[in-house]
Structure 1
Amino acid sequence: MLYIDTPRWPAHGRLWAHLVSDVSAAELHAFAELIGAPRRAFERDHYDVPADRARVAVWLGARLVPSREIVDRLVAAGLRRPRYLSASAGQKKPAQGLFRRED
């Protein structure tokens, strides 16, 4: 199953949501591709998704859940990847141009 929280995380003039799977990273990557999320929007165990793509994700079947449930689902499925285990720990990822605006 795929889960997404309400877009409420501000960055780069937009609101962002988190998209996760409680099944596998493969399911998450396939769904992210379906909604047009580039692979560079993937961060350890979730995708950062702008509000317009979040609506598409829900329309395509992602379940809208509270932010706290996102982490709970990842932990329960054994898919949570803490930052300290990441190869890019301590580095900021470039966020400019993750998604094209459809204004």
Structure 2
Amino acid sequence: MSVLIDSAVWPGPRGLLFAHLVSDSSFDELHAFARAMGVDPRAFDRDHYDIPGHLHARALELGAAHVTGRELVTRLRAAGLRRRKAPRVGGRP
């Protein structure tokens, strides 16, 4: 039962790099952790928060465990908390 964060390698707005923050326990735990970090609720996307790289150290200070992206997804799936994107209807946009 823990909150996990991967490395900030995912490109985002304004040239920032982002990490993913998840819980392998519950969404309640994840949302409470994000609130404690001061993360905007709009950063939540299906099953994770997109965390800008400058907040990565703060997540670790608050007790998040640093894992690889692969480990993060593996543990999210094992916990039954992975929410995949819905398939697009009608093919390409």
TM-score (norm 2): 0.88
What SS does the corresponding residue of 2:86 show, helix, strand or coil?
A: helix
Cα distance in 2 between the residues matched to 1:45 and 1:16: 15
Look up the match of 1:4.
5
Tell me which stretches of 4 or more aligned residues in structure 1 moved more than 2 Å. none
Structure 1: any 5+ residue segments left out of the alignment?
91-103
* Cα RMSD (Å): 1.5
What SS does the corresponding residue of 1:84 show, helix, strand or coil?
A: coil
Q: 2:18 aligns with which of 4, 16, 22?
A: 16
Matched positions, count: 87
Cα distance in 2 between the residues matched to 1:9 and 1:84: 21
Cα distance in 1 between the residues matched to 2:56 and 2:31: 15
Structure 2: any 5+ residue segments left out of the alignment?
none
Quick one: percent identity of the two aligned structures?
A: 52
TM-score (norm 1): 0.80
Amino acid at match of 1:3: L
Q: Rg bigger for which structure? A: 2
Structure 1 residues 13-43: Cα deviation after superposition (integer angstroms, max 9, x where no partner): 1110000001100000000011111110000
CA positional deviation for 1:70: 1.0
What SS does the corresponding residue of 2:19 show, helix, strand or coil?
A: strand
Q: Following superposition of structure 1 onto structure 2, how do residues 63-82 of structure 1 map, counting pairs within 5 Å?
A: 63-82=65-84
